[in-house]
Chains A and B, each alone.
Chain A
Amino acid sequence: MGSSSKKKKEKQKDFQKPKLKVGKAKAKPDNFTDTSFKSKSITLTQQSLTLHAPSTTHQFTHHVSLLNSKSDTQRRDSLAHLTTHLTSAPTSQPLPIPVSTLLPTLSPLILDASTTVRTQLLKLLRTLPPSDVEDHVASLMPYVRAGMTHLAADIRVTAVDVLSWLVEIAGEAVVSCAGGWIKTLNCFLSVLGWHTEESSKWSSNRAAFGKAGAKGKPMVKVLGVLAEFLEAGIGEDDDEMEVDGEGESGNGTGVGGFPIVQTDVHMVPKSAQPYVYLNLFGAPRDEEGEMYETREERFRVFKGRFLVPVERGLESARQDGGEVGRASSAVSKVLKEARGVDWEV
């Protein structure tokens, strides 16, 4: 009837064939989308238009700038390039970029999300000349500490690795830089989960949240690094020996310098920032951020704050046995020695 025929017509309207006409362009369909665009310039991403091959220095700086790239692979490749450059170049030749400018771009990569980038970073760091790094430990340490308390277990492990490297090449600088002693020890305790009595009771410390890496392994590694760290901080002092030795040598050779017995003390210090402990330009530091430069100071602080939780943790680690137990024994040994020294002093 009336309405139904109307509906039929409406329905048919949808399926009408478009009429083609000779000499005219084909009608565009309804759902046609115009995808043409205009551009003022053409950018070729792949090709370089320069005629000369870039110099090695130029390449080096270019790859340094690529370290902030968004893509994981790009960062990793750049790091690899830098590593090969450093290893292949003769050691006598200075770096194209000084370490002081290189480190600020490298240090955020400790917290990088990608594992490959971090491993590559570690390789690169190991190739850096140790003497240059020593002066910049203080700026590197916050990143290491941030890594050690990171939510992701992998990043924690990498940070511990980096710390191990740092302790290896500049142990004294690590433990005596601002905040390097108390804050780092705090981080260790939190990585190991030794802060409170309750938390150390749980066998699955630190795995409470976040994925633990390879089972058991990280714990061993952390204990190992802790031992190194404590050794550097409160272990038997090599420096004193050195001082003694120098003193002896001074006495031996310097016949003419009779009135000055310890020449070394009166000389301008050899370290890069000799007066940094005065903290002339920085913000005032609290107890945690303070510099603890001598072994005695460090041991006093350690005894007051960390001895009890560390011993408690060591005890439980020893009871765990296995690799962890063995690793803990290394730490215990350092502690014992430190105490022995302390008693002597």
Chain B
Amino acid sequence: MVKRKLGALEKVEADLPNLQHKIRRDPKSYIEDFRAQHYQYESHREIFMTAPSSTTETGLISLRELIDFIAHVADCYPEITKDFPQQLMDILSQHHLILQPELREKIVGSLVLLRKKELLDSATLLQTLFPILISTPSKTLRALIFQKILMDLRQANAKTTNHKLNRTMQTVLFNLVTSDRTSSKGLWAIKLTRELWKRQIWTDAKAVEVMKEASLASNEKVIVGGVRFFLGGDKEREEMEDESSDEEAIDLGRVKHQVGINKKTRKKSRAVEKAKATVKRRERKKNQPHPLNFSALHLLHDPQGYAESLFSKHLQSTKSKLNLDQKLMVLQLVTRLVGLHKLHIMHLYSYFQKFLTPRQPSVTSFLASLAQASHDLVPPDDLEPLVQKIANEFVSEASASEVASAGLNAIREICARQPLAMNETLLQDLVMYRKSKDKGVMMAGRGLLSLFREVNPEMLKRRDRGKDASIGLKAGERKEKRFAEQEAGGIEGLELLEKWKEEERRKRRAEKGLASDASDDEEEGEEDNWASWNVEDDEDSDDSGDWINVQSDAEIDISDSEDEKDGPPAKKAKSSESSSDDKAEKKEEEKEESAEAKFSKLATTRILTPADLAKLQELRTEAAINSLVPGAKKRDRDDPLTAEEIEGLAALSAGKATREERIAHAKEGKTDRSEHKSITAKRKERKQDQGKSTTNKEKARKKNFLMTLGKAKSKNKRSLVQTRAVLKAHHDRAKRGGRRGNIG
């Protein structure tokens, strides 16, 4: 027999993975071997340190493999390897510029591995990696290190927020951004912060502060990065959350069923365990209260100072090197801040003046920014010339329809925020454009009209006011809002909550068989509310039902005396002194009032429990979903105003839209609908999706005609006895439940 040829590795058994495997299984016995390899590593390191840039391919085993090996088993011999992490960090930080790419990556990977094995703490690792990230010229290394840093931060914050680490890291980033404002190194701080913000790992003011400093830098890239974060970071975060929340649902029943059918392997049972765990985790997650995440714009300290310095540094100064797009972005941010926090920047409005001509590139963005910047605390004197200018420049019979509609829309948006910026003659002039031939202009004119019918119908001509506004004016309900007049605020969606509560009460009473609008039992319902103070408490009460029952019995006893009740004082006073008739009267009064001031009642007479707040949140989202139906859109104050909205229905102007655009527009509000199909086809598809096979009936139907022919022919030739035998057999079989019998 010919002797088998051996490969070089086999010949000398220089097999580190094999040794690694053995050490994993029995570290104590292989300590000598490990020690030898550690000496080997030391010698190789020594050789390497004398000439770091040379190739280290010495013989069979390279330094890279040794590092890999030691990193993998370092946790078995912490005594021997206690210097190992520090040595790696030294090599990396001193020689990262000249190291071989492979070795470099291996060292980074090994450091992360050591971190996973808890032989190295996060702070040290990040302090090593971060300086390299910002100084290395190698793109691959940067990508690798960025990914590793991100991963490490995520893992450190996975179970609980690691405040200490976050704080140090944020300080490092902050210093990076602030130390040298002209360098583009701040980009890494931006990238990191933005990513962590997106994943909701950093949600605090300090992260926002880093971005704020970034946007005040002198390097264009850094500025744009910071500004982009404020304009889009929160939206990104929301999208990320949505994405993670609608992962594909796991059908636990189906998984269990499949395991029952298929071959039982360890892998499959593990998969079931995993599915169970996932479902459980999601369930728990669903029950958790919604985390309160403020948007970045709300977390800013001193928005006034920030907006002012942004404006003066990037927009007003002639030295600013930003191009138009970048300037527009900064302007958007400034105006959003102004609109959101109701700030006042002295020269902002006069700054707009020179950009408001139809020939200005991307003028709609300027218009949108202007509209954003106006709020009810802006002096009308500041805005009036701008409105006048828009009207003069954009809105005229001679100008193109898109221009006119953009101008009208802009004016409408400004006036929606500060109605006092409009004067009567101009308004009446502009409103005439609702008679325009062009659809876009017409819609814009109507928009303006309907806006003023609501906010200040007196400025319109009598015949333009419309029915509701005229009646309102007569009754004296509608009054012009004075400058800086504030409306009494409420809690958003509170009326929904109240409505819901009312309905609940009515239902309960209907169950008990009482009249639905008598209110003497109100206290009890209220007490129920007190019992379910927390969302979680609901579960408790389910678990120990009798305990709660005793409580409620006692409550009824006390309710006779009605004196020592610990409900809210306002109610108590009312209920203690009045009979049921009195209450009925009051109820009527309340009904009258409730049309106007419904919200005030609930919020001022009760303390809203967390359970209430949870319900409120639910109702709010429900309402939001309902409002997604086309037509009913309500602007949130946090949402930015975009140039598209200013352009508005200019797309509708005749002859401008292609067929596809029109179709797209028509489809815009409609819900997604799948292809039209017959019911059977749908059923079939569903079956196929669920991985089920065909029925016997289907198989019979599909069977090749030729295959059935033989049997059909022979059937004709059967004798009576044969036929009987066949029928009988069929009958028996049917009784038994098929050929195999209906056993189980």
Contact = CB atoms under 8 A, between A and B. Distances in A.
A150 B33 contact: no
Contacts of B59: 108-113, 155
A326 to B, nearest CB: 25
B39 A152 contact: no
A183 B43 CA distance: 9
A151 B16 contact: yes
A114 B7 CA distance: 11
A150 B14 contact: yes
Contacts of A155: 12, 59-60
Interface stretch (B46-54, B152-160, B478-486, B498-506): B46-54
Contact of A179 (B11, B33, B46, B706): B46
B49 A283 contact: yes
A179 B49 CA distance: 14
Which one of B31, B44, B46, B61 has the greatest number of beta carbons of chain A within 10 Å?
B46
Contacts of B61: 111, 150-151
Contacts of A100: none
Contact of B32 (A179, A193, A289): A193
Interface string A134-149: 0000010011011011
Contact of A146 (B22, B43, B49): B43
Nearest to A187: B39
A283 B58 CA distance: 23
A208 B13 contact: no
Interface string B65-94: 000000000000000000000000000000
Given A152-B13, A183-B42, A209-B22, A190 B32 contact: yes
Nearest to A190: B36
A1 interface: yes
Contact of A111 (B37, B39, B50, B58): B58
B60 A111 contact: yes
Contacts of B32: 190, 193, 195-196, 199, 205-206, 208
B46 A152 contact: no
Contacts of B44: 142, 146
Nearest to A110: B59
B8 interface: yes
Contact of B50 (A112, A139, A183, A208): A139
Interface in A58-111: 108-111
Contact of B31 (A113, A196, A210): A196
B39 A151 contact: no
B50 A113 contact: no
Contact of B12 (A152, A187, A196): A152
Contacts of A154: 12
A300 interface: no
B707 to A, nearest CB: 12
A36 to B, nearest CB: 34
B68 to A, nearest CB: 14
B349 to A, nearest CB: 65
A289 B87 CA distance: 15
A191 B42 CA distance: 15
Interface residues of A, number: 39
B14 A152 contact: yes
B43 A149 contact: yes
B76 to A, nearest CB: 15
A113 B8 contact: yes
A211 interface: yes
Given A151-B14, A199-B32, A143 B43 contact: yes
B279 interface: no
B205 interface: no
Given A113-B59, A152-B14, A145 B30 contact: no
B360 interface: no
A154 B19 CA distance: 17
Contacts of A120: none
Contacts of A211: 12-13
Interface string A156-196: 00000000000000000000000100010011001101011
Contacts of A150: 14, 40, 60-61
B117 interface: no
Contacts of B36: 149, 151, 190-191
Interface string B13-31: 1111001001000000111
A209 B33 contact: yes
Interface string B274-315: 000000000000000000000000000000000000000000
Nearest to B28: A198
Contacts, number: 100
A100 B706 CA distance: 92
Nearest to A179: B46
A110 to B, nearest CB: 8
Given A111-B59, A151-B15, A196-B32, A186 B50 contact: no
Nearest to B50: A139
Given A190-B36, A196-B31, A283-B49, A209 B12 contact: no
Contacts of B11: 113
A208 B59 CA distance: 23
A114 B9 CA distance: 10
Contacts of A114: 8
A193 B32 CA distance: 7
Nearest to B706: A1
Nearest to B12: A152
B35 interface: yes
Interface in A208-252: 208-211
A35 to B, nearest CB: 29
Contacts of A195: 32, 35
B12 A208 contact: no
Contacts of A205: 32
B37 to A, nearest CB: 7
A205 B32 CA distance: 9
A153 B11 CA distance: 10
A329 B14 CA distance: 32
Contact of B58 (A1, A108, A148, A206): A108
Contacts of A110: 59
B30 A142 contact: no
Contact of B30 (A139, A146, A208): A208
A164 to B, nearest CB: 18
A145 to B, nearest CB: 4
B19 A209 contact: yes
Contacts of B47: 142-143, 146
A113 B12 contact: yes
Nearest to A138: B50
B574 to A, nearest CB: 84
A210 B49 CA distance: 28
A179 B47 CA distance: 12
A201 to B, nearest CB: 12
Contacts of B60: 111, 113, 150, 152, 155
Contacts of A1: 706
Nearest to A146: B43
Nearest to B59: A111
Nearest to B29: A208
Nearest to B23: A209
B443 to A, nearest CB: 63
Most chain A beta-carbon contacts within 10 A, residue among B9, B39, B58: B39
B57 to A, nearest CB: 8
Contacts of A289: 46
Nearest to B54: A104
A109 to B, nearest CB: 8
Interface string A114-130: 10000000000000000
16 contacts: A111-B58, A113-B12, A142-B46, A143-B47, A145-B39, A146-B44, A148-B39, A149-B40, A149-B43, A151-B12, A151-B15, A151-B40, A154-B12, A183-B42, A190-B39, A205-B32
Across the A-B interface, give the 4 residue pairs with the lowest CB-CB distance, nearest first.
Answer: A111-B59, A152-B12, A146-B43, A149-B39
Interface of B: 8-9, 11-16, 19, 22, 29-33, 35-37, 39-40, 42-44, 46-47, 49-50, 58-61, 706
Given A113-B12, A149-B37, 8 more contacts: A108-B58, A113-B11, A149-B36, A150-B14, A151-B14, A206-B32, A211-B13, A289-B46
